[in-house]
Amino acid sequence: MLHCPICGLQYSTDTQVCPVDNSPLQADPTAIGDETPVDPLIGYTHDDKYRIEKRLGIGGMCTVYRARHLLIDRPVAIKVLNPRFVEDEAAQVRFRREARAAGRLQHTNAVGVTDFGSTSGYVYIVMELLEGRTLREVLAKEAPLDTARAVALMLQTAAAVAAAHEAGIIHRDLKPANIFIVQNSEVPAVVKVLDFGIAKLAAESFDDDDPKTLTLVGVMIGTPRYMSPEQCDGAELTPAADVYSLGVILYEMLSGVVPFSGSTPLAIAIKHSSEEPRRPSEYVASIPPALEQVVLHALQKRPEDRPANAAEFRLELLATAERLGLEHAAVTSAPDIQALRDVGTESPSGRLVIDISRLRENRAATSSGETTVISPALAAAVINSDSTGAPAYSASVSSGKQSFPRVRIELGQIQRFRKEPLLILALAGLILVAAISYFALRSQDVAPATNANATASPSPSVSPTPAPTPLPTSEQKHSAANANANANANENTNENANKKKGSKVGRALKKVGRILKKPF
């Protein structure tokens, strides 16, 4: 292990320069050629349940071990209060109170606390065992991060801090060393925020990330590079102080540097209170302006000029990520195969190579026309806080649930939509009248033509001169008269039928006219 002679941070042997202050790393001369002293707690069993197996890290106040729960055979992490604080009653009370507060916090992105105990003079907290790296280790090797990756990590971090704010907990010491990234090859990275509400007990108690941490109770709590201006002044803290720290972390992930640095903690604190930060795009030109505005909003000097809590900050960041088409764990839909083919190129081997830049542009173009409708009551609940200073936002907001995109319709458009059915009915009525009139006229024209065809005389034809016939008798005259009477009766019947048809059409036209005059 190598350490920085300026800030005291420790790195692996493959890192030669400290990413914080660019100082050459040095090896600890006392550790060369010497065996590591055996920790007396290795192999010790707390409360006949937790057997210590390995030491994971040492801090100013606590030491973290890997242990095993003997009853259920499950690996866990145990944080043990250092022996020099065991006799301090105030330290034990504070440790117990913070353990209880962390135990009440149940969130996917917050480390889970499962037990608390005291045995043989040792006070300990049992937590879930995490496998991965801290954000500090990631930034030391990979900073600056890709825009989408930085936003995805910050969205999860802000969700955990928002849950803490809802529970009445202010972290006060957010920094990359307290953000743990659990990476698995089969699932996306999961962020775990550590040390909720844990404050150092003395000014000389160095943090495991930075020995310049100011943790004097009642004065200043936090790490200078990530402290808000009100923290530097020793003022009363609100959830907006954590928002400032989140802004500094996002600034560092995007640009690779912190907004303010100095040779002493006091110099850094003065810069936080008096100087404006440089734009992240001055370090990395590819940072989108909309995302840069979110960062600068969180870094405002006055708490009232920032998002009031982590939930508001997360909503602002989430909306910006949706507009830019960035991938993140909170996305509600994934691109289908056709969308991937549109932005990809098929290789000779049959693999589809995706152009991630074009995919983001397509997603941004698709989401730009959608507007999320939020009721005024919900918006007021998110923005405002109650008189006690506690956040008054809804639990559904802090839980990270996303509203479905909907179309906003103005009131004038609604009135216009209400008039359209009347116009459609009037048009349908006109079409119906025209159709009835057409068929009525056609029936009147066809009927006379039929009668004319029925009564038309046959065409003359050449025939031989008939033989003379005898004069008709009285019976033949009587039958001829009956035939004429029948023909006249048939003509009268046809005329009456035509009149009835005409009267029915007239009545139908009158009804349609009355409907059009008074539709409702």
**What is the token pair recorded at 503?**
């009267």
Distance CA 336, CA 167 (A): 39
d(CA 256, CA 282): 11
CB 158 within 8 A of CB 110: no
Cα separation, 358 vs 366, in Å, equals 12
Q: Would you state the structure tokens that stand for residue 156, as one six-digit string?
A: 């999860």
Give the side-chain half-sphere CA count within 13 A for 235: 14
- The neighbour count for residue 231, using CB atoms within 10 Å, is 26
CA distances from 205 to 45, 181, 209, 364, 369 (A): 27, 25, 12, 48, 53
Cα(first)–Cα(last) distance of the chain, in Å?
A: 88
- Are the beta carbons of 28 and 11 closer than 8 angstroms? no
C-alpha distances in angstroms, 168 versus 61, 165, 196, 246? 24, 5, 11, 18
Q: Are strands 344-346 and 352-354 parallel, antiparallel or unpaired?
A: antiparallel
3-state secondary structure of 293: helix
14 is catalytic: no
The residue from 39, 88, 146, 173 that is catalytic is: 173
Q: Which of 2, 231, 196 is nearest to 105 (CA)?
A: 196
Record the tokens describing residue 89, joined without a space. Answer: 């009653």
The 10 Å Cβ neighbour count of residue 357 is 10
**Which token pair is 431?**
């079409």
Question: Which residues are CB-contacts of 232 (< 8 A; sequence separation ≥ 6)?
Answer: 220, 224, 269, 270, 272, 273
Count of CA atoms in the C-beta half-sphere (13 A) of 504? 12
509 φ, ψ (degrees, to nearest 5): -65, -40
Contact 14, 7 (CB under 8 A): no
What's the full length of the chain, in residues? 520
Give, in order, the Cα–Cα distances in Å from 105 to each of 165, 168, 219, 330.
Answer: 10, 10, 26, 21
Residues sharing a CB contact under 8 Å with residue 119, sequence separation 6 or more, in sequence order? 46, 47
Nearest 5°: phi and psi at 183? Answer: -110, 130
Report whether 136 contacts 209 (CB < 8 A).
yes
| Strand 45-46 to 50-58 pairing | antiparallel
Q: Which residues are catalytic?
A: 173
